[in-house]
Amino acid sequence: MRRIYLTLFLSLLGVACAVAAGVKSGSETTLVDSCGFFPQLSPDGQWVLYSPTDATSLMLKNLSSGAVTTVSKVGYPGFDAIFGPDGKVYYVTQQRKKNGLVYRTGHCYDPSTGRDQVVLKPQHGRVQALRAAAGVVINGERQIYRSAPNVGAWTYTRGSMLYLVDATGVTRALQPVKDSNGYLWSSLSPDGTKVMFEAASHGVVVCDLNGSVISELGEFLMPSWYNDHYIIAMSNAGNPRLAGSRIWLMSVDGETIKPISAKEERAVQPMTAAGKVVYSLLYSGEVRQLELDIRPADFVPAATGKGKVMKVKDPVSKKDVPRVFINPGHGGHDSDDRHVPTWVIGARDTLHYYESNSNLTKGLALEEILQNKGYETAISRRTNKTEDDLDLFEIVALAANSGADIFFSIHSNATGIEKRINFPLGLYRGWDGKPAVEGSLQLSEAVMKQAATNQLTVWTHDRRSRGDWSFYTNWGYQVGLGVLRFNKLPGMLSEGSFHDYLPERERLLNDNYCWLEAWNQSVGMDEYFGRKGKFKNGVIAGTIRWSDRYRQDDDRRLFGEDELKPLNGALLRLYNGRGVLSRIYTLDIYDNGVFVFTNLPKDKYKLELYYGNEDLYETVKVKSGKNNTVYRNLKLKTDQKPKKKK
């Protein structure tokens, strides 16, 4: 079905003008002049709810009087607030504890009285306000709140599963799309017979209540039901077939697919209510409204009765442990991936370095390391295909949907100029020293401090932590990194090193070197969450270079010991304190000389190297501690005589 859509897409656009459904002439109006993101209309169309770009407040505007009210300025209340059928505002705030864990609280605000009420006490993990057929559910992992005893059926997503809850509270788990990176933005059709959601890496999908796919409508984001037959969604900016950011109208059967916002507007975040469509402009935050010439869904009265809190029978997590959302940057060897063909002397061949490859290697390693340390994790991709290169809105939504305590994006850097440098750089949303989200600076400082302890590389400068608004001032006021925009989790992007510095690029071709970067990142997270010393086993890592042979590269921008030629293909043996062979490691042939022994119990070890006529022995002691990594950068002389075994 999806392939059929892609084939016919251009022809559908060609006949769009002939389709009856569309925008009423002259219906576009401006509701908010600036800084209005994730807009929501009340069921009667009289109020608009919105947030500034950093989610630090939640604003409500009366469209009749023009009066603006601040609903909340505490706990990042913006982005995911909704109106219920009763006309009340339901939203979630977050509080970061001293241990770094994030707890979330459910609120209900009544515009008619100005009363704000806590309806769901703080809990760890995901807490989300969702529309049900006749009410609202604030869905937590331990407890949920229903705005009335019987709010009707509703749906939610977690990871790559779709959950349907019927009017009696019985939950069914479905998986309509088998190989998606995750499901987002699920909702029931107004008549309750269909479910719509966005499958990351696939697009908007409509299925029946048994999970059988009715239609796949293409790569769009943030879908919203207009009525039982029409859907509103926004462009997926990562889809090369869709130009820019626009709002689209489509029919469930796929016969109508057409843009309804102007191409130059850069329109995002659509929502429907009261027969109208509202959306934001990407950079200005201007909120605009359109009316369509098709009949909207019938109004469903709100369920009556007092709201109720209920326990979840089988919680996702029974303990409050740190939860990390991992985003290995890019995905697929596409135009936004940084490809560098590299002539590797040891391999006698050109190897093709892609940042997406090493990012994924680090991400998967970090996931395994953290899980072994008792963390919970979610990750934005596990493979490296074009469809894994998710839209930034998808990545941010997946992170929020995971209930994570921190957002961690993995990259490597490049100067793009002749002068090569190499240092670890942490970027967080906000100004230097003034993060937009509390905790982001502490996270960046902790991770970058540990990253700089890596002695296998040659650092040309000290580590740095910067606010992206300060670092990218030429991009515009408070623009910053797209993957951190609209992200209200404590978070950062790690530029672990500079891959356009040739020796570093060669090290990044080594999966064990990438593992070591992930290990150091995990130790920084241990510090951030106050979990020092939670993992007792240690690491022995190092490089082996010739002390009297020098690199003969065309690229002579080398520093320190990177002037020396690395050893290729050598065999290392590691013996424990009892003299028993514990591990064997063979150096790769990618001109980096890297070796890494992981998960070593506390002990006194002996490294033995044999390479042609050269022998080298080294004693290494592994201790317990917060970062129990022992580094040994070794050198061989061309005419070195073998040492005697002790």
Q: For 539-580, what is each residue's pLDDT tens digit? A: 999 999 999 899 877 666 889 999 999 999 999 999 999 999
pLDDT at 320: 94
List of E strands, 166-218: 171-174, 183-188, 194-199, 203-208, 213-218
Model pTM?
Answer: 0.93
Q: In what order do the strands lie in the sheet with 287-291?
A: 29-32, 287-291, 276-281, 267-273
For the chain, how are helix, strand and coil distributed in percent, rounded to 5? Answer: 15, 40, 45
Mean pLDDT of 233-262: 83
Q: Measure the CA–CA gap between 250 and 234, rounded to whole angstroms.
A: 11
User: How far is residue 265 from each of residues 140, 219, 283, measured CA to CA in Å?
Assistant: 36, 20, 10
pLDDT at 150: 93
Q: Measure the CA–CA gap between 93 and 198, rounded to whole angstroms.
A: 25
Mean pLDDT of 376-391: 94
Residue in this structure with the two tokens 């902790």, named with its chain if needed = 446
Bridge pairing between strands 538-550 and 629-631? parallel
Asked which of 86-95, 182-191, 445-454, 553-562 is least confident by mean pLDDT, the reply is: 553-562
Sequence ranges of the domains in the chain: 2-311, 327-636
Is the Cα torsion angle 196, 197, 198, 200 positive or negative in sign? negative
pLDDT at 639: 65
pLDDT at 555: 61
- Work out the pLDDT band at 646, boundaries 50, 70, 90: very low
pLDDT at 12: 38
- Residue pair 9/241 in contact (Cβ under 8 Å)? The answer is yes
User: How far is residue 512 from each of residues 84, 515, 517, measured CA to CA in Å?
Assistant: 51, 5, 9
pLDDT at 625: 65
Which residues, including other chains, have CB under 8 Å from residue 11's CB and lie 6 or more apart? none
Q: In what order do the strands lie in the sheet with 491-498?
A: 376-379, 323-328, 406-413, 491-498, 425-428, 464-467
Burial class (CB in 10 A: 0-12, 13-18, 19+), 98: exposed
pLDDT of 19 higher than 60: no
Asked which of 3-17, 242-256, 630-644 is least confident by mean pLDDT, the reply is: 3-17
pLDDT at 315: 83
> Per DSSP, what are the bridge partners of residue 96?
102
Could you tell me the two tokens for 400? Answer: 């929020």
pLDDT of 245 higher than 60: yes
- Work out the pLDDT band at 225, boundaries 50, 70, 90: very high
Q: Which amino acid is at 341?
A: P
Give the number of other Cβ atoms within 10 Å of residue 340's Cβ: 14
More confident residue, 435 or 339: 435
Asked which of 247-251, 288-292, 553-557 is least confident by mean pLDDT, the reply is: 553-557
Which residues, including other chains, have CB under 8 Å from residue 113's CB and lie 6 or more apart? none
- Work out the pLDDT band at 118, boundaries 50, 70, 90: very high
- Work out the pLDDT band at 534, boundaries 50, 70, 90: low
| SS3 state of residue 305 | coil
Q: Measure the CA–CA gap between 374 and 644, rounded to whole angstroms.
A: 44
pLDDT at 404: 98
Q: Measure the CA–CA gap between 94 and 79, rounded to whole angstroms.
A: 12
Tens digits of per-residue pLDDT, 331-352? 999 888 888 999 899 999 999 9
- Work out the pLDDT band at 614, boundaries 50, 70, 90: low
What is the CATH code for 2-311? Answer: 2.120.10.60
- Work out the pLDDT band at 477, boundaries 50, 70, 90: confident
**Mean pLDDT score of the chain, rounded to an integer?**
91
pLDDT of 509 higher than 90: yes
Residue in this structure with the two tokens 């916002």, named with its chain if needed = 261
Q: Which amino acid is at 485?
A: R
Could you tell me the two tokens for 445? Answer: 């400082």
Q: Measure the CA–CA gap between 235 and 312, rounded to whole angstroms.
A: 36
Could you tell me the two tokens for 486? Answer: 């609209």
Burial class (CB in 10 A: 0-12, 13-18, 19+), 22: middle
| SS3 state of residue 346 | coil
pLDDT of 8 higher than 70: no
pLDDT of 3 higher than 70: no
pLDDT of 483 higher than 70: yes
Q: Measure the CA–CA gap between 445 and 458, rounded to whole angstroms.
A: 20
Q: Measure the CA–CA gap between 149 and 583, rounded to whole angstroms.
A: 62
pLDDT at 239: 52
Domain 327-636 coded CATH 3.40.630.40: yes
More confident residue, 533 or 60: 60
| SS3 state of residue 357 | helix
